[in-house]
């Protein structure tokens, strides 16, 4: 397993197939690292282990519930796993909470991006629950990794994105609208 790609690193270049809809003829698209850089946007990419599992849809649904919050912060929101685009599509059609997703699900079937990020679990070679916040220049500014059995906190991802976007010093438990620290 590669070492976990972390803070200050350049996010790897990628172009991947995605599922963007369950409407016939409009299901698939592609996404690349250039999409957020060329758009001058932040990118929030969250990885999950497998489709048709139990914890994963709770996270994906919560990210979807907060999609407008990410969009309002000029952040491209992207979900990803090592499942194929066809499995993503079947799962979206099958699971009531995933039918109307507003963001793409990356199909990293070659596992090349997950491997470059160093987030593959050793035995099954599925991705750990890892969230990246990448700035508009393509630099990783935040990484959070969870064990396969523990879901992440989407509100915390938004809080950290807010803090990073202030480009100021933010104290413990800081939330948007609160004072930042000023060094005399």
Is residue 40 domain-resident?
A: yes
Is residue 172 domain-resident?
A: no
Sign of torsion, CA 111 117 120 122? positive
Is residue 180 domain-resident?
A: no
Is residue 134 domain-resident?
A: yes
The token pair that represents 184 in the structure block = 């005399």
Residue 71: how many CB atoms within 10 A of its CB? 14
Is residue 72 domain-resident?
A: yes
Domain count, the chain: 1
Mean pLDDT of 128-155: 93
- Residue 52 domain boundaries: 15-152
Residues that are catalytic: 56
Is residue 3 domain-resident?
A: no
Is residue 7 domain-resident?
A: no
Q: Say what the pTM is.
A: 0.93
Average pLDDT for the chain: 91
Say how far apart CA 93 and CA 128 lie, in whole Å: 24
Is residue 161 domain-resident?
A: no
Sign of torsion, CA 110 100 57 25? negative
Q: What is the CA radius of gyration of the chain?
A: 16
CATH number for the domain including 107?
A: 3.40.30.10
Nearest to 154 by CA among 74, 68, 92, 93: 68
pLDDT (tens digit per residue) in 44-100: 999 999 988 877 778 999 999 999 999 999 999 999 999 999 998 988 888 888 888
């Amino acid at each position: 397993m590669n070492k976990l790609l972390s803070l200050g690193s350049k996010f790897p270049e990628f172009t991947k197939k995605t599922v963007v809809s369950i409407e016939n003829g409009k299901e698939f698209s592609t996404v690349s690292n250039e999409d957020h850089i060329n758009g001058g946007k932040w990118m929030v990419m969250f990885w999950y282990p497998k489709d048709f599992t139990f914890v994963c849809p709770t996270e994906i649904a919560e990210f979807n519930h907060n999609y407008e919050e990410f969009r309002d912060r000029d952040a491209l929101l992207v979900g990803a796993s090592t499942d194929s685009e066809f499995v993503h599509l079947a799962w979206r059609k099958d699971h009531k909470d995933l039918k109307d997703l507003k963001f793409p699900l990356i199909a990293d079937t070659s596992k090349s991006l997950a491997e470059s990020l160093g987030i593959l679990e050793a035995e099954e070679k599925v991705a750990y629950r890892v969230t990246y916040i990448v700035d508009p220049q393509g630099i990783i500014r935040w990484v959070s990794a969870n064990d396969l059995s523990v879901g992440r906190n989407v509100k915390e991802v938004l809080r950290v994105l807010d803090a990073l976007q202030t480009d100021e010093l933010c104290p413990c438990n800081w939330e948007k609208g609160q004072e930042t620290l000023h060094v005399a």
